[in-house]
Structure 1
Amino acid sequence: MSPDKMVRMANQIATFFETQPDADKAQRVADHLKEFWEPRMLDQLAAHLDAGGDGLSPLALEGAQRVVKTTA
């Protein structure tokens, strides 16, 4: 998948959870990524984070960092 599409998808997930009443929205993003993204997508996300995570919203970035830490 293109990096732009991956970033767009992660940001859409974060946008959804931003509207939810949960206190730990970043963990909800991380849980969603871990549950629904296949390992190749998570590997690509990890590589994108290693390169700086350009384009990810703050919530998407924090959620992505959490899921990459738990799958590493």
Structure 2
Amino acid sequence: MDQAEITRMANQIADYFSAYDHEEAVEGIADHIAKFWDPRMRRTLFDMMESGGSALDPLVVEAASRLAPASG
């Protein structure tokens, strides 16, 4: 899966959780990524984060930073 698709999917998750309070949103995004994204998807997300992740919603960036890259 390419970075554009990962960005689109991650930002859709953030859009869904944006109605929640901040901490619940971040936890919900992190939980969703940990449970439903395969290791290759998570690795791509972590690689994007290392490159700055500027296209990612700030909630995604915060949530992904809570996930250990070793899990990807």
Q: Which TM-score band (shorter chain)? A: 0.7 to 0.9
Residue 53 of structure 1 corresponds to 53
Q: Which runs of 5+ in 2 are unaligned?
A: none
Higher mean C-alpha displacement, 50-59 vs 16-25: 16-25
Does structure 2 retain, via aligned residues, the 8 Å contact 1:10–1:56? Answer: yes
**What is the deviation of 1:5?**
1.0
Structure 1 stretches of at least 4 aligned residues deviating more than 6 Å after TM superposition? none
- Taking a change above 3 Å as real, the CA distance of residues 14 and 56 of structure 1, as seen in their structure-2 partners, is same
**TM-score where L is the length of structure 1:** 0.84
Residues 35 and 60 of structure 1, relative CA distance in 2, 3 Å threshold: same
Contact 1:46 1:68 (8 Å CA) reproduced: no
Partner of 2:67: 67
Structure 1 residues 61 and 22 mapped into 2: Cα distance closer, same or farther (>3 Å)? Answer: closer
**Cα separation, 2, equivalents of 1:56 and 1:69:** 17
Change (3 A) 1:45 1:23: closer
Superimposed CA distance per residue, residues 30-68 of structure 1 (whole angstroms, 9 cap, x where no aligned partner): 000000000111111111111111200111111111124
Deviation at 1:14, TM superposition (A): 0.6
Question: Is the CA contact 2:43–2:69 (under 8 Å) kept in the aligned structure 1?
Answer: no
